[in-house]
Amino acid sequence: MAEPESLRCSSVRNRGGVQRVEGKLRASVEKGDYYEAHQMYRTLFFRYMSQGKHAEARELMYNGALLFFSYNQQNSAADLSMLVLEVLEKSDTKVEDEILENLAKLFSLMDPNSPERVAFVSRALKWSTGGSGKLGHPKLHQLLAVILWKEQNYSESRYHFLHSSDGEGCAQMLVEYSSSRGYRSEVDMFVVQAVLQFLCLKNKNGASVVFSTYTEKHPSIERGPPFVQPLLNFIWFLLLAVEGGKLTVFTVLCEQYQPSLKRDPMYNEYLDRIGQLFFGVPPKQSPSYGGLLGNLLNSLMGSGEEDDVAEEAHEDSSPIELD
């Protein structure tokens, strides 16, 4: 019992030491000595890291970043935010909800147009792959999607919703996106694209939830099925066909709705992939698209060099743009 007791005492002393240091740093920031305080934070960071005090270093940098953000010191705050990630990358810290929420908090406070924000989210998602999800932890994607939705950055929000497990949130965002930015004649296209992309990611549940929620909540869609819009009927039948897994049903369905599917040339690309995933259709010998668009499709569908194309896709903000 003596050893655990000594560890607890050590933890209490460390916490007290961190609090005293934070008090001094806060005083410097409150006096406007931003540069001096920033350099002190960095010095303490490397000292803690060299001593293996990863938890203390992460806590100090996180609180310091929040402090600098509160004084609108974006550059210093972003730098300390990056140091939070450095601790996570260099330590054996497990992916936990609290840490993901802290990372999302830092992301939300960064200038949306800053290059530091792009670098931060890329590194955060890469670190989070220590959990589940090859393109980033679904929980972190969901948190980022909600933040971007509040900023009305709908295209990036959609990208992150696609890699989350929140089909309902995605649908609600798409309703707002369609109502505020889209044409009434395109009300069906917003959800069709999302459903097809969810299926390309092998997320049948997400595809079903986003479709049912969107069609129920969109003010311009009459309750169905059947629906007034042919594409919505196609998606309804497609989701049923995916559950059944019969190739003949899938083939006839695609043929019957080909006039509507021609509204967006990407639909047939997605359906080719869906045919491979759910109906045993062999892949084409050569892709129809190359270059950047091919990379974007690869990142969405999880094929090719996943890490590289995922970063390219995120830097482009959205796998495939509607508007």
Residue with tokens 């992301």: 107
Q: Name residues whose C-beta falls within 8 Å of residue 17's C-beta, 6 or more positions apart in sequence.
A: 56
User: Can you read off the two tokens belonging to residue 164?
Assistant: 């989350």
In terms of CATH, what superfamily is 178-286? Tetratricopeptide repeat domain (1.25.40.10)
Residues 225-236: what's their mean pLDDT? 97
Task: Give the DSSP letter of residue 287.
Answer: -
Distance (Å, rounded) from C-alpha 138 to C-alpha 107? 16
Nearest to 280 by CA among 253, 239, 249: 249
51-96: per-residue pLDDT in tens? 999 999 999 999 999 999 999 999 999 999 999 999 999 998 999 9
Residues 97-125: what's their mean pLDDT? 97
Count of beta carbons in the 10 Å neighbourhood of residue 295: 21
User: Can you read off the two tokens belonging to residue 27?
Assistant: 């005083």
| DSSP H or E segment with residue 124 | helix 115-128
134-186: per-residue pLDDT in tens? 689 999 999 999 999 999 999 999 999 999 989 999 999 999 999 999 999 99
Inter-residue contact 159 to 170 (CB < 8 Å): no
* The model's pTM: 0.84
CA 33 to chain centre: 36
- 225: cis peptide before it, omega within 30°? yes
Distance (Å, rounded) from C-alpha 45 to C-alpha 56? 9
User: Can you read off the two tokens belonging to residue 307?
Assistant: 């890490």
Task: Give the DSSP letter of residue 1.
Answer: -
The residue ranges of every structural domain in the chain are 178-286
Inter-residue contact 105 to 96 (CB < 8 Å): no
Q: Is the CA virtual torsion 39, 22, 50, 105 positive or negative?
A: negative
271-313: per-residue pLDDT in tens? 999 999 999 999 887 655 555 445 556 666 544 433 433 333 3
Residue type (1 letter), 148: L
